[in-house]
């Protein structure tokens, strides 16, 4: 299919040779994705619309998830390098939806880069709740350096507190934008786990937005994760520019994931 390029189009995370280097740091990644960060800001509904239109134009949702997860893995590698973190495991807390699916992809890419990573499915259900997320959960089976953990209850999540200070990084891939009111278990305890890790000096990387800071308004969930770095996709988000959103998102990177110009809001 032929698509119109967006201003600042770059190679996608899965095939950008300038990023496939040892020792990638945040400054390098920020410079590489600077043209994407310079695009006009959009909100949550506009992003959902762009995602849906991209798929109607022939871009598979699985392909978008692959690029998003690869971008998260690149950001995780860069954060580890810049923070000079040791050999601990990268703990990726994943919800049952597509935000969690991005986390599963990130774990696969990290493991293949030689970084030990664990995908924790935080859900009372038997498995992920969307087809794309479910496929990427299954793709982790047998990947060397990748561990799958299903935390189906608050108790299961609480067991991860032991030794959390030794984690190299915690990735928040629990929930995206749009959640209202108090968070339910076991996600609520997973948020507490992430914030406990942060209090012990473990950096927090959020996928698209900290759970579950609204991408339009910047309004937080209850409780809320405060990230050191957030990787969002395709366009900067208005919610990350608000006073509260900016404080919770930390530094923000904007990654290309393959949404064509025709899919953008008019």
Per residue in 92-123, pLDDT (tens digit) is 999 999 999 999 999 999 999 999 999 999 99
pTM of the model: 0.96
pLDDT at 9: 76
The rounded percent of the chain whose pLDDT value lies above 70 is 96
Q: In terms of pLDDT, which residue wins out, 266 or 49?
A: 49
Six token digits for residue 124: 């009372």
Q: What is the pLDDT of residues 19-45, one digit of tens each?
A: 998 899 999 999 999 999 999 999 999
Domains, the chain, in order of start with CATH, read 49-259 (3.40.50.10260)
pLDDT at 2: 44
The rounded percent of the chain whose pLDDT value lies above 90 is 88
Q: How far is the C-alpha of 266 from the C-alpha of 139, rounded, in Å?
A: 37
pLDDT at 8: 62
124 close to 150: Cβ distance less than 8 angstroms: no
Q: What is the pLDDT of residues 221-241, one digit of tens each?
A: 899 999 999 999 999 999 999
For the cut 80, the answer to whether the pLDDT of residue 266 exceeds it is no
The neighbour count for residue 153, using CB atoms within 10 Å, is: 14
Six token digits for residue 6: 């967006």
The neighbour count for residue 98, using CB atoms within 10 Å, is: 24
Residues paired with residue 172 on neighbouring β-strands, in sequence order: 93, 206
Q: How far is the C-alpha of 70 from the C-alpha of 161, rounded, in Å?
A: 27
pLDDT-derived band at 180 (thresholds 50, 70, 90) equals confident
19 close to 256: Cβ distance less than 8 angstroms: no
Listing DSSP states for 169-193 in one string gives EEEEES--TT--SBPPTTHHHHHHH
């Amino acid at each position: 299919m032929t698509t119109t390029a967006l201003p600042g189009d770059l190679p996608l995370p899965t095939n950008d040779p300038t990023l496939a280097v040892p020792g990638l740091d945040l400054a390098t990644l920020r410079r590489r994705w600077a043209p994407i960060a310079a695009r006009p800001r959009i909100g949550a509904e506009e992003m959902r619309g762009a995602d849906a239109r991209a798929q109607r134009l022939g871009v598979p949702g699985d392909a978008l998830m692959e690029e998003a997860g690869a971008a998260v893995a690149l950001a995780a590698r860069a954060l580890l390098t810049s923070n000079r973190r040791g050999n601990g495991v990268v703990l990726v807390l994943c919800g049952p939806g597509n935000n969690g699916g991005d986390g599963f992809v990130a774990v696969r890419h990290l493991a293949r880069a030689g970084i030990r990573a664990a995908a924790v499915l935080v859900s009372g259900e038997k498995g992920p709740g969307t087809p794309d997320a479910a496929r990427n959960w299954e793709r982790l089976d047998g990947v060397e350096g990748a561990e799958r953990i299903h935390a189906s209850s608050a108790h299961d999540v609480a067991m991860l507190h032991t030794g959390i200070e030794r984690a190299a990084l915690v990735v928040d891939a629990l929930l995206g934008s749009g959640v209202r009111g108090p968070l339910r278990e076991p996600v609520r305890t997973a948020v507490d786990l992430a914030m406990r890790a942060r209090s012990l000096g473990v950096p927090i990387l959020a996928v698209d937005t900290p759970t579950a800071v609204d991408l339009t308004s910047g309004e937080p969930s209850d409780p809320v994760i405060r990230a050191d770095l957030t990787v969002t996709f395709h366009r900067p988000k208005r919610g990350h520019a608000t006073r509260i959103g900016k404080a919770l998102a930390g530094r923000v990177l904007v990654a290309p994931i393959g949404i064509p110009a025709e899919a953008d809001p008019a």
